Structure 1
Amino acid sequence: MGKKMMTENEVKKKLGVDSFKDFNKEQISEFASQLPYMDRDLAIKIIDQFPDFSNMALGAINQFRLILGKLTDDAAQGQKAVIASYNKILDELVDLLKKEDVSHEERVQILERMLYVADRIAEHDKEQKRFLKEIAAIGAAAIGGAFVLGAAILGVLYKKDS
């Protein structure tokens, strides 16, 4: 697109929107890519109609915190249930070891089972931590994207002003 868009209606038509207040993420991204083709004053006028970027970013962060809190609470509950199950198995194996009529070979097998259960607990813990790291990385990328987009828009406007 070579010519500068001079009216709000031209920009709305290009972006396929009726109002700048109801932008979704894709439309905001498309808007940012169209900034070089807009008159500076028009771009500022349109940005003034956006929902406040800082409130949007804070809202995204707060929403992410709620989601992450819920995920970690759910994960913690699941983790507790799994560990409780493994502990029950370990308790039963300990009870078997306490019996006097258990042979040496059976004791070795029981100890091997206990080690296997301990390994499963450690593996489950690793999987849980990996899952939480992935969730945190996804959320951080999404929030970072919102800030980068805001900075890109402000940077283009500043460059046009200079």
Structure 2
Amino acid sequence: MRYNNEAEIMQALEIESWRNLSKDKMIRFAAMMPDMDTEVALKIVEQFPTFKEFARDTVDAMERAHESTLSANKQSQEYVHQALQEIRAILKGELDKDDLTWEQRKFIIERIQETGRMDFQKDSENKKFLDAVFNKALIGAGVAIALGVAFVGGRLVAESKDGSEDSQDH
């Protein structure tokens, strides 16, 4: 959808005033920017005196959430790996018993193999998860860059308009 005026953008963001623009809605606003008329986007950005600080705070919050997610994931991964190692150690101890039948030995070996597959599956899931988290971080960084570019671009356009008006007056 193409946004041609502030009212359309505010309606899409479900806000009545730019003062109601939360961090979540700021991110939505940034994602909508490619679909906005450039002049309208610049007029909106100019209305935020603390836009740079707001964008920086948003990026910092995203970074903290990203680090927390990675830390929790690493800890969870270590717990699962450790638990599977302990299960294998117990199974190996059982396998060392001399009075086991062939069927019992086969069962224990199959359980050891199963824990290996579970460990491998968990590692594969973790890599997919990390890839998804990395992609989200890239998107977040892209949004931050877009916000920064929009802010700087808006200031440059505004400054160039001021300069062109000055040169036309002379």
2:66 aligned residue: 68
Question: 1:106-152: per-residue Cα shift (whole Å, max 9, x none)?
Answer: 32332222122111111101111211221221132023123124324
What runs of 5+ residues in structure 1 fail to find an aligned partner? 1-10
Q: Partners in 2 of 1:156 and 1:123 — Cα distance?
A: 49
Query: What are the residue-to-residue correspondences of 1:102-121 with 2, within 5 Å?
Result: 102-121=100-119
Give the percent of matched residue pairs that are identical in Structure 1 and Structure 2. 21
2:78 aligned residue: 80
Amino acid at match of 2:143: G
1:58 to 2:56 alignment: yes
Q: Would the alpha carbon gap of residues 52 and 103 (structure 1) be closer, same or farther in structure 2, given more than 3 Å must change?
A: same
SS in 2 for 1:79: helix
Matched residues, number: 148
What's the TM-score, normalizing by structure 2?
0.65
Query: Do 1:57 and 1:147's aligned partners in 2 also have CA atoms closer than 8 Å?
Result: no
Q: Partners in 2 of 1:60 and 1:27 — Cα distance?
A: 13
Q: Partners in 2 of 1:128 and 1:104 — Cα distance?
A: 36
Amino acid at match of 2:116: A
Q: Would the alpha carbon gap of residues 37 and 141 (structure 1) be closer, same or farther in structure 2, given more than 3 Å must change?
A: closer
Q: Partners in 2 of 1:77 and 1:105 — Cα distance?
A: 37
Deviation at 1:35, TM superposition (A): 3.5
1:36 aligned residue: 39
Q: Which segment is superposed worse, 147-156 or 99-108?
A: 147-156
Q: CA RMSD in A?
A: 3.4
1:101 to 2:99 alignment: yes
Q: Partners in 2 of 1:127 and 1:116 — Cα distance?
A: 16
